[in-house]
Chains A and B, each alone.
Chain A
Amino acid sequence: MIPALHSYGTVLHGMIFGLHGIVFGTTLPTLPDSVTFFIAAVIVLVGGIGVVVSRNPVHSALWLVACLFGIAVMFLLQDASFLAAVQIIVYAGAIVVLFLFVIMLLGVDRPESIGSDPLKAQRPLAILFGLGVLGGSLLLGFTAKWESGAKSQAGRAVGGSTNEVQKLGKAVFSIYLLPFEATAALLTIAVVGAVLLTMHANRTTENSKPYEDPKPYEDPVPDGYRSRQGLVANADEEVDLVDKELDVK
């Protein structure tokens, strides 16, 4: 590394953590750790803000990936390498992909106007609330103690002879056996729910019914027709709209 750059980095590092050292009275973190932390922190915060302010849901989803990546780096920094991998695989690999899939399926990848808000007071109130949470957390971080000296119950996270995955596995199958089993019920519900709901969507939008529908619903909607006003109020209105559309043609 270029010596000048390195010394410059050390000075900057010393300035940032010197302040911290004065406040907390602790020694400095190592340089690589702190550089990684700050880069990842910037990614997390920018990603989080990006999710909130993007007009296009696709951009929001991409910002979400960035934010989740930053969180994974934070996990790595804290000796939770297995969770970091799981975070990337489950969130970026499955959950965000599912989001993007739904966005594309619904065809809603269109910018939304952020300006209009039916409840005028809502936005200032929300931002005030956010600032309140922010102030409170900073107050906690700088005055109160974040942690207390409780003893470990489930086994030590750092140190010892076994590796991290082994420790996690042992904890899951001993102390946390019941919650682990309970997640099975959760996943069953998710499967049943997803099948039920998406088959609903098929049954209400397409006219091809495998067997007779006990609750007759609505006229078939012409291919490619999409309501301009978003969700229409009820089936009657929908039919009216379709009629008008056909009349125009």
Chain B
Amino acid sequence: MMLAVLAKLPIISWPAILPETIFIGGALLLLAVSALSNKKLSSGFCAVYTILISVAALGSSMYLWDKLSSHSSYVAMSSSIAVDGFGVFVAILVCSITVLIALAGEGFFRDSWGSLEFFVLIMLSSSGAILMAMANDLIVVFLGLEIMSISLYVMTAMDPSRTSSGEAAIKYFLLGGFSSAIFIYGIALIYGSTGSTNLANIATFLADNVLVQNGVLLCGIAFLIVGFAFKVALVPFHMWTPDVYQGAPTPATSFMAALAKAGGFAAFLRVFFSTFGTLRSDWRPIIWVLAVLTLLIGVLLALVQQNIKRMLAYSSISHAGFVLLGLQAASAIGVAGSLYYLFTYSFLVIGSFTVVMLVAGEKDTNHSLDSYKGLARRRPWLAGVFTLLLLAQAGVPFTTGFMAKLYVLSALISAHGYALAVIAMIGAAIAVFFYLRVVVLMYSPAPGFAANDETGAALDTDTGIGESIEVGDEAATIQSSGMSLTRSTALVLAITVGITVAFGINPAPLIEFARHATLLFH
């Protein structure tokens, strides 16, 4: 009897779930160590530990990738997870994001309260994103989504010194919970109309049967689109994005901007391109409308922002529109283009938010565009790096941003999406304006800057809240000096700039990587 029950347990394929297991195990171990040790663990230790865990997960993903190049892709764990090039590509991306955020977080938290939990949460959140990317079952997608999002809610609320942090968390949480409920209702309807939540089974069912009355299935698909659109911030489901990006602590913002897009789009692409591929004539019009709105409204609203984090939030919305173009193309090359875009975007956005974090200062409050006035004179290196990253986001040649836009657009044109391609190019052209606006501000001489700052400092001393940060040599450095560049943040900037430039000049290896990822699509 006992043996009979045991015999039915599924074969656990450890290599297939190794990246997630390493992240979850690493987070639990860190929690246990901190609970057992008498001293408070320093944030440097936590960061190094997180980086080691992420590198181990990266290594296991690389191992999977290596094995995939000789073997074919397969499903594991009772077919609830798919080990294919697509999933492993995103897993590699997620591990790299975690390494960079751990470095940036070390520079930000510097032993402040809650630093340990930040590192635990980024590891757990990453495991959720990998689960989403490799999921072969809608319920695994849902659980991965929740693991990722719930940690992001907590990370948004982490900063106790600013009320806006908690406020952003409430907004994020309510809209996130709303979208999760819509998502699970969509899963329930799809389950009812196809008889399974397993992506492979659904695809087989849809290929073998023609549903005469498929209203329930289409309702379910529509609900899934709404759920995904909330998570990856597509217009008109983007309302939370600027507020949450502004309110969250800056390292959490950059983590959310990179990870939620990577994980969300990975599941979005897999579910729609591979599972509902046979119904593409039904969902492509909806994606078309979403893409047009996202591309245009994202850039138009970015133009009028006065806060750098809100501006970058709208810019990330317009990037999401570009990633969506690959799905709209609904071809293997389109999906490869989306993957390539996600990869380059993640590094660009982490680099940009790290600069924002350094300019914002210890209290993470200096986010108005005015604080970028004359940055080139005060901190020429930082301004140079930011200029490069912004130009790459705008899509200037010899950066990864240019190749990414070119790639998705060419995929779209080969799928005859001419109108949308034109709209996307108009959006990209408008986007150049607001990126250049920041660059021009940084290189402008900033007259009367010191006077402004002194009044700001005076106000702060009145209320007794502001501590004078550091009395620099010049008056202008009183408030705007921001955080000094530490080794870890410098490393983040070096890596992001290096990747942006290296793959911008020689894009072939990365394009080959992304193409290979979709060739191995299950």
Contacts and interface: CB of A to CB of B under 8 A. Distances in A.
> Do the two chains touch directly in the complex (Cβ atoms below 8 Å apart)?
yes
Interface of A: 136, 139-140, 143-153, 170, 173-179, 182-186, 188-190, 192-193, 195-197, 200, 203-204, 211, 213-218, 231-236, 239
B150 A190 contact: yes
A217 B161 contact: yes
B77 A177 contact: yes
Contact of A178 (B17, B157, B161): B17
Contacts of A173: 9
Contacts of B214: 144
Contacts of B121: 189, 192-193
B2 interface: no
A189 B150 contact: yes
A160 B153 CA distance: 44
A146 B143 CA distance: 26
B464 A239 contact: yes
B213 A231 contact: no
A183 B143 contact: yes
Most chain B beta carbons < 10 A, residue from A144, A213, A217, A231: A144
Contacts of B8: 170, 174
Given A178-B80, A185-B127, A189-B121, A148 B194 contact: yes
Nearest to A169: B5
A187 B128 CA distance: 13
B452 interface: no
Nearest to A236: B463
Interface string B171-200: 000000000000000000000111110100
Nearest to B134: A178
Nearest to A211: B40
B160 interface: yes
A145 B160 contact: no
Contact of B193 (A147, A152, A174, A196): A147
Contacts of A148: 192-195, 209, 211, 216-217
B363 interface: yes
B80 A153 contact: no
B140 A185 contact: no
Given A189-B121, A193-B151, A215-B161, A150 B196 contact: yes
A148 B255 CA distance: 42
A28 B217 CA distance: 28
Interface of B: 5, 8-10, 12, 17, 24, 27-28, 31, 40, 77-78, 80-81, 110-114, 117, 120-121, 124-125, 127-128, 131, 137, 139-140, 143-144, 146-147, 150-151, 153-154, 157-158, 160-163, 167, 192-196, 198, 201, 205, 209, 211, 213-217, 219, 363, 463-465, 467
A174 B78 contact: yes
Given A145-B216, A178-B17, A200-B157, A192 B9 contact: no
6 contacts: A153-B198, A170-B5, A177-B12, A179-B143, A185-B147, A236-B465
Contacts of A184: 24
Contacts of A150: 193-196, 205
Contacts of B151: 189, 193
A174 B10 contact: yes
Given A178-B17, A182-B140, A192 B31 contact: yes
B118 to A, nearest CB: 9
B215 A140 contact: yes
A179 B80 contact: yes
Contacts of A215: 112-113, 160-161, 363
A194 to B, nearest CB: 9
A216 B464 CA distance: 11
Contacts of A217: 160-161
B5 to A, nearest CB: 8
Given A174-B8, A235-B465, A196 B154 contact: yes
A192 B154 contact: yes
A144 B215 contact: yes
A175 B80 contact: yes
B92 to A, nearest CB: 20
Contact of B27 (A146, A188, A213, A216): A188
Ranked 3 nearest A-B pairs via Cβ: A150-B195, A193-B154, A144-B215
Contacts of A175: 10, 78, 80
Contacts of A213: 113
B266 to A, nearest CB: 16
Contacts of B162: 234
Given A188-B28, A189-B125, 18 more contacts: A145-B213, A148-B211, A148-B217, A174-B9, A175-B78, A177-B77, A177-B78, A178-B140, A179-B143, A185-B124, A188-B31, A189-B147, A215-B112, A215-B160, A215-B161, A231-B163, A232-B163, A234-B163
Given A148-B211, A175-B78, A193-B151, A214 B24 contact: no
Given A136-B219, A174-B10, A185 B128 contact: yes
Contacts of A214: 110-113
Nearest to B78: A175
Contact of B24 (A176, A177, A185, A193): A185
Contacts of B193: 147-148, 150
B144 A182 contact: yes
